[in-house]
Amino acid sequence: MAYLGLARKYRPQKFSDLIGQEIIVKILQNSLNTDRISHAYVFSGPKGVGKTSTARILAKALNCKDSQNKPCDECASCIAIKEGRAMSVIEIDAASHTSVENIRDLRENIRYASAEGLYKVYIIDEAHMLSQAAFNAFLKTLEEPPPHVVFVLATTEPKKIPLTVLSRCQHLQFKRIPINLIKQRLHFICKQENINATEEALYTIASNSEGSMRDALTLLDQVTSFTNEVTTESVNLLIGGTDINVLYEIVESLIEGNREKIILKVEELNDFGTDFKRLTGDLINFLRNTLISKITKGFKPYMTESEASLVEKLSNKTSEEHLVILLKELINSELAIRNSFFPRIIFEITLLKLSFLSHFKNIDNVIKELKETKPLSISSSTLKSDEVSLSQNWAKFLEKLEEENHLLAMKIKHAKVNFKEGEIQLIYNGGASFYAESVRESISEIQNILKEFISDVMITIHSNEDLNSIESKNIEKLKQEAIDHPLVKKTIQLFEGRIFNIIPKGGGNNV
């Protein structure tokens, strides 16, 4: 007997065999139990998740002789459908039956009842491949088929099926199968087939199947065809995947800015025949797991123990912001690497560019350092003398001025006083600005009395509008300083960026 591939040998035969489609199983089983079967279904979803298998199981259940357990998978009808020789189940490949003539033949044949079971079930695979004319010819039949006929349209692209067809069917959407469920199924099959496989190898197969059970079983079949021991190395050798330690070394080099190691590692991978397009995808997923692990302490993405250990080491070496930028830039470069005639060079340049971010720091830390080296405050530092003492001396000055010029003292009391280094600002707002000019004319008298109590300080008179204008000019000056800062210039040059806006921090006092 010819060898039967694992994907065919372990194809689901009962509803209980379907993995990861619990909602759909429940809907169909409830429909069978209440005898509320729809005349037409659309099964949509990714490849290899069980659409056609579910259609066959439904056909079994509709024609099963066992009234309690549908399908029983033991009666003559179930066995005939399982072996593909049942006249009551007609499978049509829409890719090769796209014409109106094919639909006309179908319409002629559905009039005749099944000679074997209660229902004739038409399974139209890749239904979206039917032509528009074929769909139009199919509409009336689909809407009012004979009571003994059930249609199942399976498709990976439901958007290509006309809305007039979808509205006449019950649409069930299949989802990708989670990695852990695929891994559990692979583990079960390996036990049944006496296949020696490591847990990490099964995880690698499951994670590379993109949610498709069929792809996972096909890949397991391929690996076992050339080795008796299914390991991570053998799986990666087959699919061109990247060893987790290589990914760790690359990311570590990016974080540390070790450009020499990056060049040598890329050269080594190139000599090994690495697919750099595939490597980019593996690197993106690895960085994503590192970022998620750093952000969420309780939640861990599904990964092997060795990967989790390496991810934890990396997450302790850098910040969340750094990882986000690395991940974003790699994603942006992925399309160029995938479409390039020189993927190795594009990949290498991308890594070298990202390695210049090894000095990356949290933006708040950068601002803190900039403040330490160069004050960015619009206002100068406050007076170094004790503020309480300064306030007391100012009060004494006002008492003295009250004795010598009561009217002038009253005008000064209407001002808001702002103490700055080497300067005392008298700020007049609103109606009080009326006094500003007359106080300015008496500045010499004020200065002479003030020096008895506070030395080496100038009195300046301002209206609120004057200060706003000065502040605005200072902000513009500081914005220009920020643009001209070497760190900002280097970042813009490195990532070919643009400055859209500069927002003052802390309500406008800092940039």
Tens of pLDDT along 341-390? Answer: 999 999 999 999 999 887 665 555 555 555 555 443 333 344 444 566 77
pLDDT at 125 over 70: yes
Q: Reduced to 3 states, what is the DSSP secondary structure of residue 353?
A: helix
- Contact predicate 168/41, CB 8 Å: no
pLDDT at 469 (0 to 100): 59
Range with the lowest mean pLDDT among 11-25, 289-303, 335-349?
A: 289-303
Which residue from 344, 223, 353 is spatially nearest to 279, judged by alpha carbons?
Answer: 344
- In one-letter notation, the amino acid at residue 176 is R
Q: How far is CA 65 from CA 54, 61, 84, 194, in A?
A: 19, 9, 18, 35
Query: In terms of DSSP H, where are the helices of 257-386?
Result: 259-271, 276-295, 305-315, 320-339, 343-355, 363-373
pLDDT at 225 over 80: yes
Range with the lowest mean pLDDT among 153-167, 274-288, 452-466?
A: 452-466
Burial annotation 447-473 (CB, 10 A radius, 16+ → b, else e):
eebbeebbeebebebbbeebeeeeeee
Instruction: Write down the CATH superfamily of domain 6-173.
Output: P-loop containing nucleotide triphosphate hydrolases (3.40.50.300)
CA–CA separation, 317 and 198 (whole Å)? 30
Sequence-distant (≥ 6) Cβ neighbours of residue 294 within 8 angstroms: 315, 320, 323
pLDDT at 421 (0 to 100): 75
The first and second tokens of residue 445, run together, are 């008298």
pLDDT at 507 over 50: no
Range with the lowest mean pLDDT among 31-40, 49-58, 145-154, 396-405?
A: 396-405
Sequence-distant (≥ 6) Cβ neighbours of residue 504 within 8 angstroms: 475, 510, 511
> Domain 179-239: which topology?
Helicase, Ruva Protein; domain 3 (1.10.8)
Per DSSP (E only), the strands in 344-454 are 416-420, 423-428
Q: Please identify which residue in the block is written with the tokens 């160029």.
A: 336
Confidence of residue 87 (pLDDT cuts 50, 70, 90): confident
Q: How many residues does the chain have?
A: 511
pLDDT at 363 (0 to 100): 52
Burial class (CB in 10 A: 0-12, 13-18, 19+), 53: buried
Confidence of residue 486 (pLDDT cuts 50, 70, 90): confident
Whether the bond between 147 and the residue before it is cis, its omega within 30 degrees of 0, is no
3-state SS string for 111-128? CCCCCCCCCEEEEEECHH
3-state SS string for 467-505? HHHHHHHHHHHHHHHHHCCHHHHHHHHHHCCCCCCCCCE
On average, the pLDDT of the chain sits at 83
Which residue from 407, 416, 412 is spatially nearest to 447, judged by alpha carbons?
Answer: 412
Q: Does domain 244-359 match CATH 1.10.3720.10?
A: no
Q: How far is CA 318 from CA 123, 293, 332, 358, in A?
A: 54, 12, 21, 9
Q: How far is CA 398 from CA 200, 402, 449, in A?
A: 82, 6, 9
- Each residue of 271-286: pLDDT tens digit? 988 889 999 999 999 9
Domain boundaries, the chain: 6-173, 179-239, 244-359, 381-511
Confidence of residue 295 (pLDDT cuts 50, 70, 90): confident
Mean pLDDT of 491-503: 64
Q: Going edge to edge, which strands form the sheet with 458-463? A: 416-420, 423-428, 458-463
pLDDT at 42 over 90: yes
pLDDT at 384 (0 to 100): 47
- In one-letter notation, the amino acid at residue 177 is I
CA–CA separation, 320 and 364 (whole Å)? 13
Question: Does the CA dihedral 269-275-280-283 come out positive or negative?
Answer: negative
Confidence of residue 163 (pLDDT cuts 50, 70, 90): very high
pLDDT at 102 over 70: yes
Mean pLDDT of 484-497: 66
Range with the lowest mean pLDDT among 24-28, 209-213, 275-279, 356-360?
A: 356-360
Supply the pTM of this predicted model.
0.67
pLDDT at 383 (0 to 100): 42
- Contact predicate 47/55, CB 8 Å: no
Sequence-distant (≥ 6) Cβ neighbours of residue 257 within 8 angstroms: 355, 356, 357, 358, 359
Q: Please identify which residue in the block is written with the tokens 């390496």.
A: 310
CA–CA separation, 103 and 134 (whole Å)? 6
Confidence of residue 416 (pLDDT cuts 50, 70, 90): confident
Q: How far is CA 238 from CA 208, 229, 242, 338, in A?
A: 12, 13, 11, 20
pLDDT at 18 (0 to 100): 93
pLDDT at 51 over 80: yes
Mean pLDDT of 111-122: 81
pLDDT at 233 over 60: yes
Confidence of residue 59 (pLDDT cuts 50, 70, 90): very high
Q: Residue 80 CB: number of other CB atoms within 10 A?
A: 18
